[in-house]
Amino acid sequence: MTWETVIGLEVHVQPTTRSKMFCGCANSFGDPPNTNVCPVCLGLPGALPVPNAEAVRLGVVGALALGCTVHPTSIFARKNYFYPDLPKGYQVSQYDRPLATGGAVRCESPERGPIEVSITRLHLEEDAGKSLHDRYPRRTAVDLNRCGTPLCEIVSGPDLRSPAEARAYLVALRQLLVYAGVSDCSMEKGTLRVDANLSVRRPGQSGLGTKTEVKNLNSFAFVEKALEAEYHRQVGLLESGGRVEQVTLLFNAGTGELRVARVKEESHDYRYFPDPDLPPLVLAPAWVEAERAGLPELPTARRARYADRFGLPGYDVGVLTAEPETGAYFEAVVAAGADPKAAANWVMGEALGSLRETGGFPVPAPRLAELIGLVTGGAVSHQAGRKVYAELAAHPDHPPGVVAERLGLLQVGDESALAGWVEAVLAAHPGEVARFRAGEAKLLGFFTGQVMKASQGKADPKKVQPLLRSRLGP
C-alpha cells in the first residue's frame, strides 16, 4: 500500500532593512537583550506605529520576484493573543487583504523533475520578541530586540509531494529572494524560518488528508528530516487503524523526534480586525511597475545566460549561480579577460574554497584573471598556480607574475635548461632507460615526473615530453 505526501510550507523571511517595521529601532541581530527598543515596539501607552517604506518596498520586490500579483491596496490587521514577548497583546500582520497573491516558484524535484510550486500569498507583518526559557531557573526572560522587526510571510500551495521536494523548493525560494536583494535568508540568524504542513492520502484521491504543522526547523536538512519523520508517523497511525489529529509538532534536531506542542482545541481565536492605527497600504501601480523593471537578474535568467553565452556545462552553471555573489565574481574574472571555462574552474575550486574559509573572495577578480592567463599561457603550471593563488589571497595587491617569480614558480621552457634536467634524470635511471627502449612506452610518464621533481615543478611538462622522446629515441 502506498501513500501520497502533500506538503505546503509557510516561510518567514526578514527583509534586510536598517530599521524595524513600524519604528526607528535598528533591525539587527545579536545585540545585548532589550537594547534595540523604543516606546513603539515596547507597546507603551500612547505609542503609534508608522510603516517602514523600505520594508514595504522589499516586500513588493520579493512578491515580484516570486511572480505574485501585488495589490494596489492591502490592509494591516491585528492578530490578537496574549504572550509575554508580544508587548501590545497583538501582532500587526496582514490577513484578508495581503500585499500580494498568486505567484510560483520553479524548482527541480528529485523525484518528478522540473515542477512549479504555487505561491498562495505574500504578506507583511512584524515579528514578536523572544522568550528565553533557559536563562534563569524556573523563570522566563524576554528579549524584545526582535520585536517589531519586519517579516514577509510566504505561503506555498499544497503542491509538494515529498520532503526532498520541500527542500528543493526552499533552496529555489531562498535563491530567488537573495538574488532579488530582499533578505540574506539565513536560517542560522533566523532571517528565514520555516513552518511545514504535511498530510498523506491515497494516490488518486482528490481531497486532502488531515494535516499537521511542524515547527522549530532550523535548517533545510532538518526540514527534510522532520517531514520524513512526520510522514512515517502519520502513515504508522493510519496503517495501524488510527487517525491523524490536527496538531502542531516541534522537531527536536538532536533526537530527530517530533513532539506534540498543541492540539487543535487549544488553537487561538486571533480575532483579526483591520488595525485602526494604520491606514490601508496603497501602492501606485506605476511605482510597482518601476520596482518590477528594477528587479535584478533572477537565477533562471542567469543560468540560461551562463549556459548560452559562456557555454558552461550544467554542473558549473549550478555551482556558479547558487549565490549571486559567486556569479558576480565569476563574471568579473571573465570581464577581466579570463577564458570562461578556466575562470569557472578557478572560481569553483580555489575561490569557493576561500569563500568557505573566509566568507569572501580575497583575490581581486583582475588578479585572478591575470593568474589564469599565466596558467593557460604555460608560464605557470596549474599546480604552481594554486600556490600563487594562496599567496595572492594573503597579498591581494601583488601582481601574480611577480608572485610567481618571487616564489620561483615560473615554468622553464628554455631548451638548454630542460635538457640539463633531462640528461641528469636519464643518467640516474639507466635501468628504466633500457626498459623503455625495449618497448615499455608507459615509462615516459615516469621520466616526466622525475624531470618535474628535479626542476621543482618549474619545467613545462608540455615541452619536457618531446625532449624526452627525442633523447630516448632509437
Q: Which of residues 351-410 bind another protein (CB under 8 A)?
A: none
Nearest to 204, CA basis, from 428, 3, 434? 3
Q: Closer to another protein at the Cβ: 271 or 462?
A: 271
* Minimal distance, residue 355 CB to another protein, in Å: 42
Q: Closer to another protein at the Cβ: 5 or 91?
A: 91
Q: Closer to Zn ion at the Cβ: 40 or 372?
A: 40
Q: Closer to Zn ion at the Cβ: 20 or 386?
A: 20
* Other CB atoms within 10 A of residue 298 CB: 18
Task: State how far the Cα of 280 lies from the Cα of 302, in Å rounded to an integer.
Answer: 37
* Other CB atoms within 10 A of residue 434 CB: 10
410 in Cβ contact with 404 (< 8 Å):
yes
Number of residues that bind Zn ion (CB under 5 A): 5
Residue 62 binds which entry of Zn ion, another protein, none, CB below 5-8 Å type-dependent: none
Residue 89 binds which entry of another protein, Zn ion, none, CB below 5-8 Å type-dependent: another protein
76-80/273-274 β-pairing: antiparallel
Q: Which of residues 32-51 bind another protein (CB under 8 A)?
A: 39, 42-51
Q: Does 132 bind another protein (CB under 8 A)?
A: no
Task: State how far the Cα of 130 lies from the Cα of 85, in Å rounded to an integer.
Answer: 6
* Minimal distance, residue 56 CB to Zn ion, in Å: 17
Q: Closer to another protein at the Cβ: 45 or 430?
A: 45
Task: State how far the Cα of 14 lies from the Cα of 148, in Å rounded to an integer.
Answer: 11
Q: Closer to another protein at the Cβ: 87 or 327?
A: 87
* Minimal distance, residue 98 CB to Zn ion, in Å: 24
Single-letter amino acid code for the residue at 82 = F
Q: Closer to another protein at the Cβ: 273 or 315?
A: 273
Q: Does 384 bind Zn ion (CB under 5 A)?
A: no
Residue 87 binds which entry of another protein, Zn ion, none, CB below 5-8 Å type-dependent: another protein
Nearest to 266, CA basis, from 230, 228, 213, 217? 213
Q: Which of residues 48-87 bind another protein (CB under 8 A)?
A: 48-51, 78, 80, 82, 84, 87
C-alpha cell at 260: 506534540
Half-sphere exposure for 401 (CA within 13 Å, toward CB): 7
Residue 170, classed as helix, strand or coil, is helix
Task: State how far the Cα of 227 lies from the Cα of 461, in Å rounded to an integer.
Answer: 54
C-alpha cell at 269: 481565536
Residue 473 binds which entry of another protein, Zn ion, none, CB below 5-8 Å type-dependent: none
Q: Does 142 bind another protein (CB under 8 A)?
A: yes
* Minimal distance, residue 89 CB to another protein, in Å: 2
Which of 20, 88, 167, 386 is the binder for another protein (CB under 8 A)? 88
Which of 276, 377, 431, 474 is the binder for another protein (CB under 8 A)? 276
* Minimal distance, residue 277 CB to another protein, in Å: 5
Q: Closer to another protein at the Cβ: 39 or 396?
A: 39
Q: Closer to another protein at the Cβ: 71 or 88?
A: 88
50 in Cβ contact with 159 (< 8 Å):
no
261 in Cβ contact with 217 (< 8 Å):
no
* Other CB atoms within 10 A of residue 174 CB: 21
* Minimal distance, residue 123 CB to another protein, in Å: 18
* Minimal distance, residue 261 CB to another protein, in Å: 16
Task: State how far the Cα of 116 lies from the Cα of 367, in Å rounded to an integer.
Answer: 41
Q: Is 416 left (phi over 0), alpha (psi -120 to 50) or beta?
A: alpha
Q: Is 216 left (phi over 0), alpha (psi -120 to 50) or beta?
A: left
* Minimal distance, residue 127 CB to Zn ion, in Å: 12
Q: Closer to Zn ion at the Cβ: 22 or 222?
A: 22
Q: Which of residues 90-109 bind another protein (CB under 8 A)?
A: 90
Number of residues that bind another protein (CB under 8 A): 29
* Minimal distance, residue 38 CB to Zn ion, in Å: 3
Task: State how far the Cα of 204 lies from the Cα of 251, in Å rounded to an integer.
Answer: 30
Greatest Cα-to-Cα distance within the chain, rounded to the nearest angstrom:
100
Which of 273, 313, 395, 415 is the binder for another protein (CB under 8 A)? 273
In this structure, what is the dihedral angle of CA atoms 21, 27, 31, 33, given to the nearest 10 degrees? 0
Q: Which of residues 23-52 bind Zn ion (CB under 5 A)?
A: 23, 25, 38, 40-41
> Strand 150-156's sheet: what is its strand order?
69-70, 100-109, 113-126, 150-156, 4-13, 192-201, 212-217, 247-252, 257-263
* Minimal distance, residue 47 CB to another protein, in Å: 7
State which H helix or E strand residue 6 sits in: strand 4-13
Q: Does 277 bind another protein (CB under 8 A)?
A: yes
State which H helix or E strand residue 97 sits in: none
* Minimal distance, residue 39 CB to Zn ion, in Å: 7
Q: Which residues are near another protein by CB under 8 A? A: 39, 42-51, 78, 80, 82, 84, 87-90, 142, 269, 271-273, 275-279
Q: Which residues are near Zn ion by CB under 5 A? A: 23, 25, 38, 40-41
